[in-house]
Amino acid sequence: MITIKVIQGPDENKITQFQFEFDSITIGSKKRCDIYLKDVEIGKLVLELEVAPNGVIIKNNNSDFFYYVNGKKISGSKLLKNGDHFKIGATQMILESFQKSWSQEREDLDEYLRGVYSKEPNFKRLYEILEREIIIATEGTNAKE
C-alpha cells in the first residue's frame, strides 16, 4: 500500500491524496500512469515507486530527465521514507505512508524459508506444525472480541 499526497502543481485536480492498495505505482505524463499529471515540465518522465521492506524505492525510467527528493536532484533510484518530499516537473508530492501488502510479505517469507529448508529440513516440519497450530487457534476465536 502506498499513500501519496500531491501538495502543489499545475494540475489542480490532482492536488489531493492518492492511496493505492498495491505495492508499485507509476507517476508521470502518460495516461497509463497510476497518477497521470498534466504538467508540461515533466516531458516523457515516468517515475516508478515500489514498496520495499524499509521504504519506497523511487526510480526514473528515463535518464534524460531528473526529479527531486527533499530538494536534491536525482536521475536514478532513491529510497523514500515517510514524510519525504519529491518533485516531478512542477508537481510536488509527499510520501505519506507505505506498507507492504500481506501477499508480498508472504511471498518474501516463503522465499526465505525455502532457503532455510534446504539447509535444515527439520525447520520445515517445525514451521508446518506452528502454522497449523496458529490456524487452528485463530479458527476458534470470535471476530467481535
User: What's the pLDDT score for residue 36?
Assistant: 92
Task: Specify whether 20 is located in the same domain as 82.
Answer: yes
| 74 within a domain of the structure (yes/no) | yes
Q: What is the pLDDT of residue 26?
A: 94
- The answer to whether residues 21 and 49 belong to one domain is yes
- Judge if 51 and 115 occupy the same domain: no
- Give me the number of domains the chain comprises: 2
pLDDT tens for the chain, 145 residues long, are 899 999 999 988 889 999 998 889 999 988 899 999 999 888 777 899 999 988 999 998 777 788 999 999 998 899 999 999 999 999 999 999 998 766 566 677 777 777 777 777 777 777 778 777 776 655 555 544 4
* 129 shares a domain with 67: no
The residues that bridge with 66 in the sheet, in sequence order, are: none
Same domain, 109 and 134: yes
The pLDDT of residue 7: 97
Taking each helix axis from N to C terminus, what angle separates 121-139 and 102-119, rounded to the nearest 10 degrees?
A: 140
Which domain covers residue 131, as residue numbers?
103-140
The span from the CA of 18 to the CA of 3, in Å, is 6
> Do 39 and 24 belong to one domain?
yes
Record the pTM: 0.68
- Answer yes or no: do 50 and 26 share one domain: yes
Count the Cβ atoms, other than its own, within 10 Å of residue 29.
19
- Looking at residue 29, the DSSP 8-state letter turns out to be S
Q: Is residue 145 part of a domain?
A: no
Q: Are residues 51 and 118 in the same domain?
A: no
Task: Phi first, then psi: give them for residue 13, nearest 5 degrees.
Answer: -70, -15
